[in-house]
Amino acid sequence: MELKTIDDLREYLRTWDRHSYHTEDYVFGMELEGVLTDTEGKPLETSELIPELNSMYRNFEFGEEAGAAQLEIRTHPRQYCTDALREMEEYLLDVIENIVELAEKIHGKEAIFLLLGSNPHPAAFSDRWISKTARAKKMASWRSQFPPIKVGSKKIKAEHVALCIQSVHLHIQGKSPDDVADKFNRLLYTIPEYIAISANSPIMAGEILDYKESRLLLYEQADGGNAGFPRLKRYPISSLMDYGDYLTSFPYVMGATLRDMVKERHEDARIRFEIPFRVENRVYPMQCTMKENMALIEYTIGRLKYAQTWSRQEFPSLKEIEINRIEAIKKSLSGEFIWGGRSVDVKDYLMKGIEKAEKGIKTLGCNPRYLNIIRRRVKKRRTSGDVIRRWYRKSGGSVDEKVASLVNKIWEHTRKNTPIV
């Protein structure tokens, strides 16, 4: 069911108040974005693969993204449990294998499905790689009004940034409208944690990026203020109507319905108004292996469940969350957060966060399977992005040669499903 207008939402919530019913809680789904390349890291088109892939799988959907070399994998919603996450990991490994096999048949050359938050090859930043979908062309045309964005020693057109960043979007269903509002509030103040543990966008257009997770700030600049940290006037929100009013306060390029408006707000976290309602965490860059992606999902769900069940802390101010968000973008696991006017080492803070996530997963009746991946990162103060940045610095030759070496190293980890850290 789709709610098209703010009046539809208002009426639905009134009906809920009179005839409430219980929907399943912590049903989750994912959108995973990768980029198709050859063995030199040069982009390859994905449009011909999509119909074939959609005919092969019943539990996944495949679609185009802003970039013609990008491919989105959407999982169907499932009740959260550790076995569901493990099965999803195994299925996705099979999906990656089939994506590459199909690509090699279509393009007649060896292919790589690159899982990385940013595209390292300079050739991808071109009008040639704007997807041919109506939405992609319209949004690229709209973004072209904004000035070029500095990336290292280069300047990149604003409309090219979206073609070359890949993310993980996690959807989590709530049991009622008020529960979804609560999930959104709690998701928002844990955003800095998610950025710090996941940084994986180290190279773009052949340039090493200065910040640990620059992708988020680059997209904010390219998207004219429609991306990044939500610009809420009131926090915490008290109801879904608060969020609906927030949505309708902005002008839109293509947003004619509530669903379309949500899609244009490319923010860190948002509420989806399809029924049943759900929250969406959008800050994670794509990780290089499925194990690492599953670890982020497990951490987020466990951390959110803990916050909803056990946390008694007061909600921090939006400004405080935003300051810590910027710290995580700049320094990842090497920074310091400031909560309640007190400075705390990010490593110490996140070790406690892992304990909370573990307790949250157990509250759902499950045993953690992937949290050790996050724990290892935090103890070492090192994400996969740090390792990839070091690989790139140490490699020799031209930019093209360095990128080719890099994507093949990453691909080895992806194929073997061996975490980089």
pLDDT at 106 > cutoff 90: yes
Tell me if residue 33 falls in helix, strand or coil: strand
pLDDT (average), residues 72-97: 98
Cβ-based neighbour number of residue 243 at 10 Å: 23
For the chain, give the percent of residues with pLDDT over 70: 100
> Which 8-state DSSP code applies to residue 287?
P
Write down the pLDDT at residue 297.
Answer: 99
Q: pLDDT class for 325, splitting at 50, 70, 90? A: very high
Evaluate if pTM is beyond 0.95: yes
pLDDT at 345 > cutoff 80: yes
Write down the pLDDT at residue 20.
Answer: 74
206 φ/ψ angles, rounded to the nearest 5 degrees: 80, 0
DSSP of 308-354: HHT--PPPPPHHHHHHHHHHHHHHGGGSEEEETTEEEEHHHHHHHHH
270 φ/ψ angles, rounded to the nearest 5 degrees: -155, 165
Q: From CA 26, how far away is CA 41, in angstroms rounded?
A: 38
**What pairing do the DSSP bridges indicate for beta strands 207-208 and 227-228?**
unpaired
Q: What tens digit of pLDDT does each residue of 229-239 get? A: 999 999 999 99
What does the angle CA 390 – CA 381 – CA 120 come to, to the nearest 5 degrees? Answer: 35
pLDDT at 21 > cutoff 80: no
Q: Which runs of E-coded beta strand occur in 137-286?
A: 149-151, 154-156, 167-173, 203-204, 207-208, 227-228, 266-267, 269-272, 278-285
DSSP of 48-116: THHHHHHHH-SSEEEEE-SBTTEEEEEEPPEE--HHHHHHHHHHHHHHHHHHHHHHHHHHSS-EEEE--
pLDDT at 294 > cutoff 80: yes
Helix axes 290-309, 346-363, angle to 10 degrees: 80
Q: What tens digit of pLDDT does each residue of 113-127 get? A: 999 999 999 999 999
Question: What's the token pair of residue 416?
Answer: 């073997």
How far is C-alpha 274 from the chain's CA centre? Answer: 19
pLDDT at 209 > cutoff 80: yes
Question: What's the token pair of residue 122?
Answer: 């300079």
Spatial neighbors of 421 by CB under 8 A, at least 6 apart, are 373, 376, 377, 380, 382, 383, 384, 386, 387
Q: What tens digit of pLDDT does each residue of 165-197 get? A: 999 999 999 999 999 999 999 999 999 999 999
Q: What tens digit of pLDDT does each residue of 237-282 get? A: 999 999 999 999 999 999 899 999 999 999 999 999 999 999 999 9
388 φ/ψ angles, rounded to the nearest 5 degrees: -65, -40
Write down the pLDDT at residue 58.
Answer: 93
Q: Can you list the domains of the chain with their CATH numbers? A: 6-416 (3.30.590.20)
Spatial neighbors of 27 by CB under 8 A, at least 6 apart, are 77, 78, 79, 80, 172, 173, 276, 278
Spatial neighbors of 259 by CB under 8 A, at least 6 apart, are 2, 3, 4, 272, 273, 274
Write down the pLDDT at residue 311.
Answer: 86
Q: From CA 299, how far away is CA 330, in angstroms rounded?
A: 21
Tell me if residue 300 falls in helix, strand or coil: helix
CB of 302 closer than 8 Å to CB of 358: yes
Q: pLDDT class for 204, splitting at 50, 70, 90? A: very high
Q: From CA 283, how far away is CA 132, in angstroms rounded?
A: 26
Write down the pLDDT at residue 50.
Answer: 98
Cβ-based neighbour number of residue 352 at 10 Å: 10
Q: What tens digit of pLDDT does each residue of 356-384 get? A: 999 999 999 999 999 999 999 999 999 99
